[in-house]
Each structure stands twice: as structure tokens, then as C-alpha cells.
């Protein structure tokens, strides 16, 4: 009798464990993309329509798996252009629903990167993988032109860790002399790194560093890791909108994910 009871209890526990694993396991990619294709324009849709934003064409979309957990995301970025503000957002498919992951200011002084200020770099960022912390950091540059002879480039790490995290790592200034064509560059750590948690002190000035330290800032700030060169499959926004209106976006979404997957695995 005791063996029968034990066997019944064991089967019940085993069934429960299988159910838990099944719930935790990601859905098949095809199913996730199909859900993505069906949730473009509903009340909580991920596509920003012309009715929602007059600058809807400045939004860009890509299907990714930034944290490599098997749950796909729609990565969204809005370019600033000449008169707008940049934005970045990520929505991940978990348990058959889209869960919004908002950009987070880790420390005061950080802001959203304008990753489409350099479209080529937006499509091919560095991916810095640190196995010790189990995170993949995507390194984007945000370029802001002050004049045709002067700009500032901020370097950001963007990654998923519960929420979409946005962290400014360092920045450089570039200036071209209009007299002799010489170029002057300076490199800095942002001043907010010197601010202690929950401090009301004004942001200190940035700390100037040398070029070598700037070029190795990922290892300094993010720890040891491997560097990859993934492809973010950003989709043409106007073309995507045309397919969405016809209910034919699946293949375009699939191709976007395939570009990312083939470059990261």
C-alpha cells in the first residue's frame, strides 16, 4: 500500500514539474512571430501608427532576442532628426503577452541614445557578452552635431535585465578646424559617475581620459567578456506599415529575426 501511495505522490510531483517546465519554456519561434504579427495594431499594439504619432516614420523596429532566453522582443527606436527627441523601447513576449520593457536611467545624467544618428552602427552594434553576470550588452553610439565642424558622440550599453537598461559609458568630442583642417578629439567619463546614490549634489563635470581608456571602456565598465558583431534586422518602417495594413507582416518579421539569430548563434 505504501509503495502505491509513494508512486502516486511521485507521479503527481513529476506531472507538476513537467507542467512548470512547459510553462517556463519559450514558445516556438514561429508561434511567437505569429503572435507578434497579430498584435501590431490592437489596443496595446507595438507599432506606432500615424494616428498615434505624426512622426511615426522616425520609429524603427526589429525582432530580437537580446538576452538569449528564447523569448523574442520587438526592439523599437525613434530617431531624433533635427527637431525631435530620441527614444528606445523593448517589448518582450512572455506567457503569450507582450510585456513592455521601458528604458531605465541607471544613474542621474543618462538619457536616451539616438542610435539612428549612425544607421550603420545601429544595424551592427558591438555585443559585449559577460558570462560572469549572465548579461549581453549592446554597444550603441549616439552622435549629436552642434555645427558642421563639431559633434559629441556618447557611447551607451543597452541590455535586458528584467527591464531594458540604458547606461551611458563614456563620450568624446570631435572638432574640425576650419582654418587648417586639423581634427581635435577629447575623451571623457560622464560626471554622474562621481555622484553617490540618492545624492542631491549637482552633477560634477566630466572626467577627461585618454583615447586608449575610451576604446577599452566596455571592459572597464562591464567586466571581462567576449565581443561579437551582431546584425539588428531593422525593418523599413513605411514598407512594414504597408504590410501591416494588409495583414501580411509575418515574413518581414521573420526575416528581421533571422538576421539577428544568424549573427549571434
Q: What is the pLDDT of residue 13?
A: 36
pLDDT at residue 105, rounded to an integer: 57
Per-residue pLDDT of the chain (265 residues; tens, 9 = 90+): 444 443 444 434 333 433 333 345 678 999 999 999 998 887 778 999 999 999 999 999 999 999 999 999 999 999 998 778 899 988 888 776 677 666 565 545 568 899 999 999 999 999 999 988 899 999 999 999 988 899 999 999 999 988 888 989 999 999 998 778 899 999 999 988 877 655 566 678 899 999 999 999 999 999 888 899 999 999 999 999 999 999 999 999 999 999 999 998 7
523601447: which residue's cell?
89
Distance CA 173, CA 156 (A): 15
Using the 8-state DSSP alphabet, how is residue 83 labeled? T
Spatial distance between the Cα atoms of 223 and 218, rounded to a whole number of angstroms: 7
Q: H helices of the chain, where?
A: 2-24, 29-38, 119-123, 211-215, 217-222, 237-245, 250-264
State the pLDDT at residue 189.
95
Question: Is the distance from CB of 170 to CB of 155 less than 8 angstroms?
Answer: yes
Contact residues for 171 (Cβ-Cβ < 8 A; gap 6+): 152, 153, 154, 155, 187, 188, 190, 206
CA distance 74 to 52: 18
pLDDT of res. 101: 66
Per-residue model confidence (pLDDT) at position 153: 96
Q: Give the β-pairing of 163-176 and 97-105.
A: parallel
Residue for cell digits 530617431? 79
Quick one: which of 114, 109, 123 has its CA closest to 141?
A: 114
The β-bridge partners of 142 are 154
Amino acid at each position: 500500500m505504501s509503495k502505491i501511495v509513494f508512486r502516486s505522490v511521485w507521479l503527481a510531483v513529476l506531472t507538476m514539474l513537467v507542467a512548470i517546465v512547459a510553462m517556463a519554456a519559450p514558445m516556438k519561434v514561429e508561434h511567437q512571430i505569429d503572435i507578434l504579427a497579430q498584435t501590431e495594431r490592437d489596443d496595446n499594439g507595438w507599432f506606432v501608427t500615424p494616428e498615434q504619432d505624426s512622426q511615426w516614420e522616425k520609429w524603427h523596429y526589429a525582432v530580437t532576442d537580446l538576452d538569449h532566453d528564447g523569448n523574442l522582443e520587438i526592439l523599437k527606436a525613434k530617431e531624433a532628426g533635427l527637431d525631435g527627441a530620441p527614444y528606445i523601447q523593448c517589448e518582450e513576449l512572455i506567457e503569450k503577452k507582450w510585456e513592455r520593457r521601458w528604458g531605465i536611467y541607471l544613474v542621474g545624467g543618462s538619457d536616451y541614445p539616438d542610435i539612428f544618428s549612425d544607421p550603420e552602427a545601429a544595424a551592427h552594434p558591438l555585443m559585449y557578452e559577460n558570462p560572469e553576470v549572465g548579461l549581453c550588452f549592446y554597444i550603441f553610439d549616439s552622435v549629436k552635431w552642434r555645427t558642421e565642424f563639431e559633434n559629441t558622440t556618447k557611447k551607451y550599453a543597452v541590455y535586458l535585465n528584467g527591464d531594458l537598461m540604458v547606461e551611458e559609458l563614456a563620450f568624446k568630442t570631435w572638432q574640425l578646424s576650419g582654418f587648417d583642417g586639423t581634427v581635435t578629439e577629447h575623451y571623457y567619463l560622464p560626471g554622474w559617475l562621481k555622484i553617490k546614490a540618492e545624492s542631491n549634489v549637482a552633477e560634477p563635470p566630466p572626467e577627461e581620459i585618454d583615447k586608449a581608456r575610451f576604446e577599452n571602456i566596455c571592459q572597464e565598465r562591464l567586466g571581462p567578456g567576449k565581443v561579437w558583431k551582431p546584425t539588428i534586422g531593422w525593418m523599413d518602417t513605411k514598407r512594414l506599415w504597408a504590410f501591416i495594413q494588409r495583414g501580411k507582416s509575418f515574413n518581414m518579421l521573420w526575416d528581421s529575426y533571422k538576421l539577428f539569430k544568424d549573427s549571434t548563434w
